[in-house]
Amino acid sequence: MKVKRSRGERIFSVMNYIILGAVILLCFYPVWYVAVASVSDSNLLTQHTGLLFKPLGFNLDAYVKVFKNPMIVKGYCNTLFILIVGVILDILMTSLGAYFLSRKNVMFKKPVMMFVLFTMFFSGGMIPFYLTLKDVHLTNTLWGLIIPFMINTYNMIILRTAFESIPESLIEAAQIDGAGHFKILMQIVIPLS
């Protein structure tokens, strides 16, 4: 049975569609402009004023010049390295920290959690961060973009909460079967989370 909507509800829906459509256009137009400008003739583009909806001429010289630069390929390789290695290490280290903080009977659990929370709310700032990276020789390296961010404090707290919700009986059963902490984390805790 179809529910009949009132006139006010229909007007509200139409206004929502209009407003959201305008927001979509406002967000999409800059991307469209860059894409259209990138294939336009540069002489015609510099003379053009106003909005740009279709290419002015057609010219791929900009792409040819960009891809002749060997640093583009190196930049994409660096980006992929930072993305892949950084995400893997971030997930691993955040999961290990969350598992440690979620276990009962861990020595110094509360003080360690307070230190973790402190780093979430207070940072040393940009200059001390740079000086620390310089002292450990991580400036101008890809590892300087990966190592300092291997643990995300906020995500670790969320993971810790999820890990604490797993019944202790499952972990005890795995320990009785001879599983160590790493095996429990990888084969029981993470899949259940």
Residue range 83-118, pLDDT digits in tens: 999 999 999 999 999 999 998 888 888 999 999 889
Q: For the chain, give the number of residues.
A: 193
In the chain, domain spans: 7-68, 76-192
Q: How many CA atoms lie within 13 A of 122 on its CB side?
A: 3
Specify the pLDDT at position 46: 83
Specify the pLDDT at position 23: 97
Indicate the pTM of the whole model. Answer: 0.69
Specify the pLDDT at position 48: 85
Quote the DSSP letter at residue 6: P
Residue where the block lists tokens 């003379």: 47
Determine the Cα angle at 176 with ends 171 and 181, to 5°: 50
Over residues 47-63, mean pLDDT? 86
Helices (H) and strands (E) in the chain, counts: 11, 0
Architecture of the domain defined by 76-192? Orthogonal Bundle (1.10)
The pLDDT tens digits for 130-143 are 999 999 999 999 99
